[in-house]
Structure 1
Amino acid sequence: MSFDRTFSIHYSIMLGVPHSLPHAPRDEMCFNIQKERDSMDIKSFLYPKNEVSYLMTSSNMKEAMDKLEASHYTAIPILDENGLYFGTLSEGDLLWKLKATPGLGFDMMHEIPVVSIKKRTKVECVAISADLDDMLALAADQNFVPVVDADRVFLGIIRRKDIIEYYTRNIAD
């Protein structure tokens, strides 16, 4: 099976879009995937907070640039002082802030709080208790999905890369 066909099938499964495989009856394949998905939950994909780079609402633009560079992330979660998920800041948000602020240079970035930077894209979080389908729907549009508890305390992230790798390993040709 070609890479493009395999990726298309895996991505379709993530989105819940009907698909067909040449080597297995469609209903049988969907049943096997659904059976396995029924035993999975959001915790199965969680990349825990202690392994994730994040910013605090008290952080400044310089700290954000440094953390993004060190972590090789293109976007990073922001938490408040109580550990609650506040939002996500992207490299693009930083670039737009630089462009929109006359006279702002690298030497002045320590004066700009991250909470004052406009977020061009809203990154949605998912509750740890939510259905796997809710998380998969968000992962289709986001590189990662922040995961929170019932009180909105940040628990970690689910990376789209890990979801794709999981389905790649667990779907037979």
Structure 2
Amino acid sequence: MISKPLDDVMKKYNKSYIITGEKVATVNENNDLQHVFLVLTKIKYSKIPVLDNDNHFKGFISLAMITEKMLLENNISAKYLDTITVKDVMQTNVPVINDPSNLEVIMRFLVDENFLPVVDDNNVFLGIITRKEIFNVINFTTHTFDYYYQTKENKKDD
């Protein structure tokens, strides 16, 4: 559990740490892997969110998942990528964030993930929270904590 003073200061961070869905590269679960390979290569990310036709979050797809399908016995081939869909290979057991104000849960999940999808109560994709954005919150907290709270270290002698 995050201590109350730290949590209070973190919540004073006045910028949104959610990257909205309109700004996030995504693919559809029905796209073929050849299309997704091109998208991932072009945007230079190794993993992106997968959505359905109604903008519901379905999982992640990564370059590693695609290259695994390209491996043959003695070489690599992209020959069959246009016959395999994202939903055939995507990762579906993904932690999602429903409450972006719960920094404790977000930080716990970001230990293992580079970013987390944010969804509403109907699993509609709203955006992502990245490690970088949470590091900005932590940076703000460590540099402003003494402004909001007095500690033994910064207590002035009378």
TM-score where L is the length of structure 1: 0.71
1:102–1:126: structure 2 CA closer, same or farther, 3 Å change rule?
Answer: farther
SS of alignment partner, residue 45 of structure 1: coil
Identity across matched positions, percent:
23
Q: Which of 8, 12, 25 pairs up with 1:53?
A: 25
Select the structure of larger CA radius of gyration: 2
Specify the code of the residue in structure 2 equivalent to 1:154: F
Q: Mind listing any 5+ residue stretches in structure 1 that lack a counterpart? A: 1-14, 17-29
Mapped to 2, the partners of 1:32 and 1:130 lie a distance apart of 15
Specify the code of the residue in structure 2 equivalent to 1:135: I
Q: Is the contact between residue 40 and residue 132 of structure 1 (CA under 8 Å) also seen in structure 2?
A: no
Show the counterpart of 1:81: 53
Q: Per chain length, whose mean CA-contact separation is higher, i.e. which structure has more relative contact order (CA < 8 Å, sep 6+)?
A: 2
Q: Which of 61, 67, 92 pairs up with 1:95?
A: 67
Show the counterpart of 2:136: 165
Q: After TM superposition, give the deviation of residue 40 of structure 1 in Å.
A: 5.8
Mapped to 1, the partners of 2:23 and 2:73 lie a distance apart of 33
Q: Is the contact between residue 129 and residue 149 of structure 1 (CA under 8 Å) also seen in structure 2?
A: no
1:65–1:72: structure 2 CA closer, same or farther, 3 Å change rule?
Answer: same
1:47–1:77: structure 2 CA closer, same or farther, 3 Å change rule?
Answer: same
- Give the total of aligned pairs: 144
Mapped to 2, the partners of 1:131 and 1:166 lie a distance apart of 13
SS of alignment partner, residue 78 of structure 1: strand
Mapped to 1, the partners of 2:86 and 2:54 lie a distance apart of 17
| Structure (1 or 2) with the greater helix fraction | 1
**1:108-133 Cα deviation digits (max 9, x unpaired):** 311111111153x8331111466221
Specify the code of the residue in structure 2 equivalent to 1:165: N
Q: After TM superposition, give the deviation of residue 172 of structure 1 in Å.
A: 2.5
Q: Mind listing any 5+ residue stretches in structure 2 that lack a counterpart? A: 145-158
Please give the residue correspondences for 1:141-156 in structure 2 after superposition, counting only pairs within 5 Å: 141-156=112-127
Mapped to 2, the partners of 1:134 and 1:169 lie a distance apart of 19
Please give the residue correspondences for 1:2-81 in structure 2 after superposition, counting only pairs within 5 Å: 16=2, 32-39=5-12, 44-81=16-53
Q: Is the contact between residue 148 and residue 155 of structure 1 (CA under 8 Å) also seen in structure 2?
A: yes
SS of alignment partner, residue 143 of structure 2: coil
Mapped to 2, the partners of 1:45 and 1:125 lie a distance apart of 15
